[in-house]
Amino acid sequence: AEGWGCDRDRSEGAGVTMAIMSYEGLRQDGRRWNELRRMQCDLGVVSGADGSCSFTCGRTKIIASCFVVPLSKQKASAARVPTTATAAAASTAPHVELRVSWLPFATQERRERGRTDRQVVDLEGMLKQTACAMLDASSAVVQKQTASGRGSSGAARGNNMEVQIKVAVLQADGGVRSCCVNAVTCAIGMANLVCGCLVVSCGCTAQQLGRTLRETRMLQSRGEEEEGKRLLLDPNGAETTKLGELSLSVTSAADRRQFQDVVSINCEAKLTPEEFEEAVETCAEGCRAVSKFLRRKLLDYMTKVATISSH
């Protein structure tokens, strides 16, 4: 196509020339390098679930549901008496079970992924780590309240609960890990569970992309120095296939001044320390925007539920 001349890639068998970015500095979907895809978050989409969310980012769609059930006797008997303060704080958090279903029509390959698939296993481990980060933070608050004598019901309730989370990947077009994390966060936040913080995620390309010819000429005409290459925020499937992806998951507290703790980082390429630091900073900017979006959606939903219940 005319106007697309930067970092061309010829697809196999099709003979069609595709480009990551045009001369005007626009990507295939019309975004700039530092813009997120359009996000949509629908809460309460699964009937019978304590919390559920349908999260869509671009053409990637994830459905997550959360069920809070009593802990079975076998799992309760397997839990031992804590001997350290860390184990005591962890014992107040509910037990988490998580399953990921990658549907065959999620990608163009039409390949069925079982539970033993490497990508599914890695995704389950990362999402379980996300859920535990949210619930463990709340258990630490319960421990402080129990130690000060202000309340102990939260600890007892946490010991007797099991949180079952089911995640279904309906469409996968880049950023699957980040979308799954955001969907699980909304499902847990809606399930009337005490959460110390939210966990949000965003990604960027692992490899850097050079500036377009037009942008280079504009900088030269202005007498400005060229910054060189940069990373693409929130890559789609085509960008991920060519440039790889680095996804970052961090905790997001209500207080913006509070430091964000890193929950997980997944990188699909080898990076130098300087490149890795730049990629993490790029993802952190995206995480701030995602956090504002999710908090607004959860707050609007809870406000609507409170208004309906009050009448």
pLDDT tens digits, residue range 109-132?
A: 888 888 889 999 999 999 998 898
pLDDT for 88 equals: 46
Task: State the first-to-last Cα distance of the chain, in angstroms, to the nearest integer.
Answer: 58
Q: Record the tokens describing residue 189, joined without a space.
A: 């936040």
- Higher pLDDT among residues 300 and 137, named by residue: 300
pLDDT for 142 equals: 43
**Residue 295, number of CB atoms within 10 A of its CB:** 15
SS3 category, 26: coil
Q: Record the tokens describing residue 202, joined without a space.
A: 């965003």
pLDDT tens digits, residue range 145-174?
A: 444 444 444 444 456 788 999 999 999 999
Contact 302, 294 (CB under 8 A): no
pLDDT for 147 equals: 46
pLDDT, mean over the chain: 79
pTM of the model: 0.81
